[in-house]
Structure 1
Amino acid sequence: MGWQTLDQMDLAGKRVLVRVDLNVPLEGDTVTDDTRIQRLVPTVRDILNAGGKPILLSHFGRPKGKHVPEMSLRKLVPAIEAAFGVPVVFAADCRGPAAQAAADSLADGSVLLLENTRFYAGEEKNDPDLARDFAALADIYCNDAFSCAHRAHASTTGVAHLLPSCAGRLMQAELVALEAALGKPERPLIAVVGGAKVSTKLDLLSNLVEKVDHLVIGGGMANTFLAAQGIDVGKSLAEHDMTDTAADILTKAEKTGCEIVLPTDVVVAREFRENAPHETCAATACPSDAMILDTGPESVTRINALMEQARTLIWNGPLGAFEIAPFGTATFAAARKAAAMTKAGQLVTVAGGGDTVAALNMAGAAHDFTYISTAGGAFLEWMEGKTLPGVAALTQTE
């Protein structure tokens, strides 16, 4: 594992600097979705129960090193207090005298929220002076922001080298789930990868063909792979300049023994709009004036059959234009199959990515998946096999 958890730290009477991700949606000063705040509750609760004093450190938006009042974390205090059920003190700075005074005077049973780290340009530059100022506020560092772990910033990596460090409960859950899915998975291992463009997921596809037994490709990127095989995809979304690259990935998969599964039938329409007239045809028979908008039922049957043989599933990206009815049919059917198998204890399922989470929620399948990551870029980079600086920093603490 290489990194410590809260259970391995002596928290009693200690100030614990907790890196969190408080990028929550706002309407005016009101939080409209507090999911990210709610996910921090276990970490804060366990620190408080162990006699520690949580000090929250987060960025918010992109102020680009300047103090932007509209991006102050002060407005989040009511939502954080409601979620944690304890007093939350706000410090109008994240370093220097104001932050230090707030940390020194923090009462037992209370939480301190520091101002936006990105009000300082040194945050994104991993400035060592800023990291030292952060470290001066606490006795222990706890990273509970996996969603920011792919960034080497002062608050995610710099400070981790200066204090005894550990992973928070959210970070811990994410790392355990990801290790189970791609590190040492139960096999057979199947990955479902969808989305619009091959070009945005080249590293992902190249890594997965070396790791998984079956790679299901859907969405717009499947059209590029079909085109790479000389198949006419009509007016479908496809990157025709990427067909050579797609062909290279197919060749690599043959060498690694990974079966790439492309649609054998597709749902096509002449218009990209809700409830547009549509038809199902073989993937090799897309009309020249039509576009592929979803994976067909025959292909879904094949995907479901692979799931029945699998023990682990990783999912990133939809199989079609799920946002527009009825072109989410394939995505929803496969998602519900995966969820049912997970609920029955037959499959470990890990999913991530904004569109993926939205699609699984629309399918009513999200709550039965083993783990759903909301980390976005960090999740994708982990799937690409890249080292995440924020995680690496936790394993390198002296």
Structure 2
Amino acid sequence: MHNFKRIADAGNLTGKVALVRVDFNVPMENGLVTDDTRLRAAVDTVQTLRTAGAKVVLLSHFGRPKGQRVAELSLAPIAGAFAKVLGANVSFVADCKGEHAKKAIADLKPAGVILLENTRFYKGEEKGDLDLAKEIAALGDLYVNDAFSAAHRRHVTTAVLAELLPAYAGINMEEELDALDKALGRPVRPVLAIVGGAKVSSKIELLKHLVTKVDALAIGGGMANTFLFARGHAVGKSLCERDLIDTAKEIEAIAKAAGCDILLPRDLVVAKEFKAHAAHRTCGLDEVADDEMILDAGPQSVAILATAMDVAKTLVWNGPLGAFELEPFDKATVSAAKAAAARAKAGKLVAVAGGGDTVAALHHAGVAQDFTFVSTAGGAFLEWMEGKELPGVQALTASGNALT
């Protein structure tokens, strides 16, 4: 795991200007924030810096303006929303560089907070442009990255600033990196991974990497159908990537060579219609009719997975085990999530999960709070699971390079 610095390592911050990369790319409707999860995630870092007497200058992207000023993608309304969450005044500056921003920061008192305009209003942001980075860096004394969710991009405010200023991980970033280190970096073994979702094609790199890192890999959702088909089982009219049979076999071969057990469903829940409360039945692997589709794993499969959790000391989970958005095809995901949560809560399992559908599924099961850590990072979490270097994380180890 990268040897990054934390805010606690920054020394005396009184009067210092901290440029803080947050992720305020939040869902909005009619000018109002409809989910403030990401706003709340930034509070600990901002309050820590305020308590230390720093001037806090927030940087974030919002939407995809593609280097243009787009009025509806301004961060202006988010300043007010964050002020409510923070319980303190948050000023807004309609720029993220230049004299206007400099003056606003100069006038800001220690412990004050400013939110600068959408960083993606500048074409250089997504290109990692050094000149833009120098202009923004000139505003601050140090850089804090608290946006793991954007760490897989080498943008100016997610990576390049860390090469121009003393750089530190924010509290949220710190917790994320520590949790990921426990999950795959330096885990307590045995390690069990659960990977679900619709398509093998979207997670080929992930699967190939994981089978070399974990002791057992459980595959669920539509992905499992492709593996079952590759093993010679009929899957009816289920979602199945028949052209990826060789890929599935290759992944199984890599797993075997690495000593990783692949766990596939042993029983299936099938229906003739893809809709909530469709007529359904539980059947064996070789009992799927031509006009049926597999929509969930059966109870025997969940029991086997629960037994695997009893053996494991660490669990990494990405993706549901079935069509969890349609009742009753959420049963396997909910049951497995509750099993993992109970073991994590009892201190028997380090359980780390991430990815949009996964987070939604854990909340649906009512157990997200009992997992050791739940990442909302999406793409960055997946790329980390694939074993890729994340530019935003990598840059934190290059703090203060003499590029200025």
- Normalising TM by the smaller chain, what interval? over 0.9
3-state DSSP of counterpart to 2:53:
coil
1:2 matched to which residue of 2?
A: 3
1:95 and 1:275 map into 2 onto residues whose CA distance is 54
**CA deviation after TM superposition for structure 1 residue 83, in Å:** 1.2
Residues 9-32 of structure 1, C-alpha deviation per residue, up to 9 Å, x if partnerless?
022221000000001111111111
Q: Which residue number corresponds to residue 363 of structure 1?
A: 365
SS at match of 2:158: helix
Equivalence for 1:141: 143
Q: Give the AA of the match of 1:66.
A: Q
Kindly state the Cα deviation for residue 289 of structure 1 after the two structures are TM-superposed.
0.9
Paired residue for 2:65, among 63, 71, 75?
63
Query: Which of 192, 195, 213 in structure 1 is aligned with 2:194?
Result: 192
Once residues 266 and 293 of structure 1 are traced to their aligned partners in structure 2, the CA distance between those partners, rounded to angstroms, is 8
TM superposition shift of 1:65: 0.3
1:160 to 2:162 alignment: yes
Matches within 5 A, 1:32-43: 32-43=34-45
Question: Shift in Å at residue 253 of structure 1?
Answer: 0.6
Shift of 1:226: 0.5
Aligned partner of 1:381: which letter?
A: E
**Distance in structure 1 (CA, Å) of the matches to 2:390 and 2:237:** 38
Normalised to the residue count of structure 2, the TM-score between the two structures is 0.98
2:53 maps to: 51
Write the distance in 1 (CA, Å) between the matches of 2:271 and 2:334.
19
1:68 and 1:276 map into 2 onto residues whose CA distance is 45
> Residue 131 of structure 1 corresponds to which residue in structure 2?
133
Aligned residue for 2:65, secondary structure, equals coil
Query: How big is each residue's C-alpha offset from its partner over 1:263-318, in whole Å with a ceiling of 9 and x where there is no partner?
Result: 11100000001110000111222111100000011110000000011110000000
SS for the counterpart of 1:124 is: helix
What is the alpha-carbon distance in structure 2 between the residues aligned to residue 241 and residue 105 of structure 1?
Answer: 62
1:378 aligns with 2:380: yes
SS of the residue aligned with 1:122? helix
Does the 8 Å CA contact 1:86/1:109 hold for their aligned counterparts? no
Whether the aligned pair in 2 keeps the contact of 1:91 and 1:112 (CA below 8 Å) is: yes
Q: With structure 1 as the length reference, what TM-score do the two structures score?
A: 0.99
Q: Secondary structure at the match of 2:57?
A: strand
Q: After superposition, what is the alpha-carbon deviation per residue over 1:205-228, rounded to whole angstroms, capped at 9, x for unaligned?
A: 001000000100000000000111
Deviations 1:123-160 (A, max 9, x none): 00001011001100100000000000000001111111
Question: Paired residue for 1:309?
Answer: 311
Q: One-letter code of the match for 1:321?
A: A
Match of 1:176 among 152, 175, 178: 178
User: 1-side partners of 2:101 and 2:70: how far apart?
Assistant: 18
Residue 109 (structure 1) shift: 2.6
The residue type equivalent to 1:3 in the other structure is: F
SS of aligned partner of 2:352: strand
- For residues 130 and 81 of structure 1, the distance between their equivalents in structure 2, rounded to whole angstroms, comes to 28
For the 8 Å contact 2:49–2:111, the answer to whether it is kept is no
Q: In structure 2, what is the Cα distance between the partners aligned to 1:107 and 1:8? A: 23
Q: How does 1:229-268 map to 2 (within 5 A)?
A: 229-268=231-270
In structure 2, list runs of 5 or more residues that go unmatched. Answer: none
Q: What's the C-alpha RMSD, in Å, of the aligned pairs?
A: 0.7
Q: Hey, what's the Cα distance between the residues in 1 that align with 2:111 and 2:290?
A: 66
| Counterpart residue type for residue 375 of structure 2 | S
Greater shift in the superposed pair: 8-17 or 323-332: 8-17
Between the aligned partners of 2:375 and 2:352, the Cα distance in structure 1 is 8
* Residue of structure 2 in register with 1:319 after alignment: 321
Deviations 1:59-100 (A, max 9, x none): 000000000000000011221111111111111100111111
Which consecutive residues of structure 1, in runs of 5 or more, have no partner in the other structure? none
Give the CA deviation at 1:245: 0.3
Preserved contact between residue 218 and residue 263 of structure 2 (Cα < 8 Å)? yes
For residue 150 of structure 1, the aligned residue among 146, 149, 152 is: 152
CA distance in 1, matches of 2:187, 2:390: 20
Pairs within 5 Å for 1:286-297: 286-297=288-299
Partner of 1:16: 18
Distance 2:315 2:32 in 1: 37
Partners of 1:284 and 1:132 lie apart in 2 by 63
Question: 2:391 & 2:132 partners in 1: Cα distance?
Answer: 17
Name the aligned partner's letter for residue 5 of structure 2: Q
Mapped to 2, the partners of 1:248 and 1:233 lie a distance apart of: 20
Instruction: State which of 64, 75, 78 in structure 2 corresponds to 1:76.
Output: 78
